Amino acid sequence: MLISNTKAIVKELLALADININGSRPWDIQVHDERVYEAVLRKKILGFGESYTEGWWDCAELDNCITRLVRAELEYKLKDRPGLKLSILANRLLNFQTRDRSLEVAQKHYDLGNDLFQCMLDENMMYSCGYWKSANNLTQAQIDKLELVCKKLNLAPGMRLLDIGCGWGGLAKFAAENYGVRVVGVTISQQQAELARQRCKDLPIEIRLQDYRELNEQFDRIASIGMFEHVGYKNYRHYMQVVKRCLAPEGLFLLHTLGSNISVVKGQNEWLAKYIFPNGMLPSIKQLGASFEKLFVMEDWQNFGAYYHPTLMSWHERFNQHWEQLKTKYGEQFRRLWNFYLLSCAGGLQGRDCQVWQIVLSHNGIDGVYHSAR
């Protein structure tokens, strides 16, 4: 009786997104274990993702399914589960992105293994949204994104560039090779630092294992691509103050980040926070504006969040193409977990649940008009 009732409720909710249980369309879900219904009602998105990882259900086009769920706003149609308000209060009072806690995402995600990310990412090892305006493949989309960043920063030979959250050195290598700049890249991931140093060998690039809060030296240009999602709203202002003290008087700062449509004080997605990005949080326009008010002038703000769907789908394709060489180390449950991560994020971005922003800031406004690359 319990399963029957929970199934009926889940079926009714899914119908609001035009999704059927065991239907014939590619976005319909195929249930293999009826425990999924209670898991979804009791734990919401956490139960939805965990039950998929356990193999309790499948979907031929999971990204499309998630897009429909997002557009139907089912998240807001479900009542808050017990403890949610207490969780929000804790996030208001506590800082979950301290120096010690910030290492958790490096250890649990970025240090999973360079082999995984080398298989999944493009040749430049860029782990952020590509720029698909003119591109038709992942490699070109990431090259175009790197070119876009360098042009927006007005890089010139001899400049010193700081890359906060440098990953595997993709921007550092591209900028040094194509724009003749010297680069310092900082990351808190041991494995990222090791591979970035190998990839940037014999170039004027220094890769440091360093927290952004420790930076206190001057650079002509500063960029941060896909790292701000780990800063946390209680640290946004301090982050901008660090950039302020490190940016030369006539310098430019480019921030590339995922962005939320609403202001939150806790991570929006419990499943992602638990299994993929511990302590992650997306900033809103309001929160970002407040973080650099009276510190910087905003020269440019571009949104190309729709481009994250093809980026994530390309990562998903490459991950599964290379699964034979990864499966012994990572195992079948990890494959399902990682596929849910990539496809659910792709669906969320396609449903415009969140955005991708590139923001260019200067100290006091540049002389004349800032002409942004597009």
In this structure, are residues 46 and 270 in contact, taking their beta carbons and an 8 Å threshold? yes
Q: Is there a catalytic annotation at residue 345?
A: yes
In this structure, are residues 167 and 187 in contact, taking their beta carbons and an 8 Å threshold? yes
**Amino acid residing at 129:** C
> Alpha-carbon torsion 180, 191, 269, 37, what sign?
positive
What spatial distance separates the first Cα and last Cα of the chain, rounded to whole Å? Answer: 58
Contacts of 314 (CB under 8 A, 6+ apart): 130, 137, 138, 141
Alpha helices in the chain (DSSP H): 2-15, 35-53, 62-71, 74-77, 84-93, 99-105, 114-120, 138-152, 170-179, 190-199, 236-246, 270-275, 285-292, 308-321, 323-330, 332-350
d(CA 357, CA 83) in angstroms, rounded, equals 32
**Cα 265 to the center of its chain, rounded Å:** 17
Strands 247-260 and 297-303: unpaired
In this structure, are residues 140 and 245 in contact, taking their beta carbons and an 8 Å threshold? no
d(CA 341, CA 1) in angstroms, rounded, equals 33
Q: Which residues of 240-260 are buried (b: 16+ CB within 10 A; e: fewer)?
A: bebbeebbeeebbbbbbbbbb
Q: Which of 65, 129, 345, 354 is catalytic?
A: 345
d(CA 53, CA 337) in angstroms, rounded, equals 5
Q: Which residues are catalytic?
A: 345
